Amino acid sequence: MNTNEQAGKTNGTEQTNNCEQTDQVGNVTVADNLDFAQLIEDLRLNVSENRFALLLLLPRSELFEMLQLLGKDQLLNGLKFFSKEKLMALIGGLPKEDLLKMLFTMFTNPNQLIENLPTKELYHFLRSDKIDKGQFMKTFELMPKENLSTIAGYLTKKNCDKMDKRELLHTIKQFEKFHLVDGMRKLDEKSLRNFVTTLTESNPKLYSEFSHLALFNVADRFARTDLIESMMNIDDSKIMNMLSELPDKLLALTVSQIDPQVFAALLLNNYQDLLTDLVTG
């Protein structure tokens, strides 16, 4: 190879390298020169439809991660895409304490929960090992004499109407707890519910002794919108897990509620190649 050919080849290689370097520098310059305000203006990120269009270009896994950048109200908005049937299926996966949080949010008074539980569930509750005989006796002390007479009469198989309250309590105390539960089956429903209400008011931890199914069935009576609003006190991570059931487009639509400046920062930090294509395209 002569000197001129070598020189030509060298110049060609240098020009190619220079072009590649220029392209690389050009790409870096496009991304580096962008700022929040410019990016928001250029891509019109203040418009949710534009944010949605960009989010559709991203992998589902990354959309899910972006959910943590949303506020609670925005996460709950995503739940509105679910039907009542699907929402209840998701709610069914929540632990009992979360169901109770929701119910106490939807009811104006905790006593309303007791009023809406079936009688069978109330007897199941009273048989709980977490409720001892001592708690029963303290609650009996607050009951009307007529109720105590009914229970004592069932337990002793005698007429106890002429006993005073102290005598009735002494008589009832002689029996085991499971006998007391049986005796309470003779009470009218209102008196039974009052007894359970008094128990739970004196020890709120006892609400967790109601079955998950019974609490779920009460929640199912509420409208979809009420259920969603009641999840304000549920952990964000649990709401996000529910939202993971959304189809891709609805997940992207939920994430499109993201603050424009937060989204701009995310794009600048993690999606410079995408920005370069968008800005130079």
Q: Is 44 left (phi over 0), alpha (psi -120 to 50) or beta?
A: left
Non-local (6+) Cβ contacts of 262 within 8 A are: 69
Tally the residues of the chain: 281
Domain residues of the chain, as ranges?
35-76+246-281, 86-234
Distances (CA, A) of 45 to 4, 53, 88, 233: 55, 10, 35, 31
Expressed in angstroms, the distance from the first to the final Cα of the chain is 43
Non-local (6+) Cβ contacts of 45 within 8 A are: 39, 51, 54, 260, 263, 264
pLDDT for res 27: 41
pLDDT for res 15: 44
pLDDT for res 63: 97
pLDDT for res 268: 84
Low-confidence residues of the chain, pLDDT below 70?
1-36, 279-281
| Separation CA 163–CA 148 (nearest Å) | 10
pLDDT for res 22: 36
Could you report the per-residue pLDDT of 164-184, keeping only the tens digit for each? 999 999 999 999 999 999 999
pLDDT for res 33: 55
Distances (CA, A) of 60 to 64, 164, 187, 243, 258: 6, 71, 57, 12, 16
Could you report the per-residue pLDDT of 182-218, keeping only the tens digit for each? 999 999 999 999 999 999 999 999 999 999 999 999 9
Mean pLDDT over the full length of the chain: 88
Angle among Cα 115, 211, 219 to the nearest 5 degrees reads 55
